[in-house]
Amino acid sequence: GESVGLHLPTLSVQEGDNSIINCAYSNSASDYFIWYKQESGKGPQFIIDIRSNMDKRQGQRVTVLLNKTVKHLSLQIAATQPGDSAVYFCAENTASGTYKYIFGTGTRLKVLA
């Protein structure tokens, strides 16, 4: 099956600092992207999404940036809190109108007190 990622990269940030998590997506035909947060023992949870006709979208304490030229996606978390500690995945739809998402490697975010 389709699979990405081996060992999860880890980002450690101090509580209160901003976090930036990066993702390189694979398919230039993808037009919809989602960031998910996965806490230990739970399924992934939707954080924020963005369509390819946008390059930035903001939510509550989170911002997603999309650079289609280099097929790069980033998630910025402002004023990182201990509850933000989790694994973060980006996902892409691979083609317009498809709802089968391909997930990125995942990044583990550790918030240091």
Contacting range for other proteins; rule: CB under 8 A; set: 11-19, 33-41, 62-70, 71-79: 33-41
Told to check if 45 binds other proteins by CB under 8 A, we report: yes
Longest dimension (CA), the chain: 43
Q: Least distance (Å) from other proteins to the CB of residue 110?
A: 14
**Rounded distance, CA 20 to CA 3, Å?**
24
- Residues 48-87: x/- map of binding to other proteins (CB under 8 A)? -x--------------------------------------
**Rounded distance, CA 91 to CA 33, Å?**
6
CA distances from 10 to 18, 84, 105 (A): 15, 13, 11
List residues near other proteins by CB under 8 A. Answer: 1-8, 32, 34, 36, 41-46, 49, 89, 91, 93, 99-106
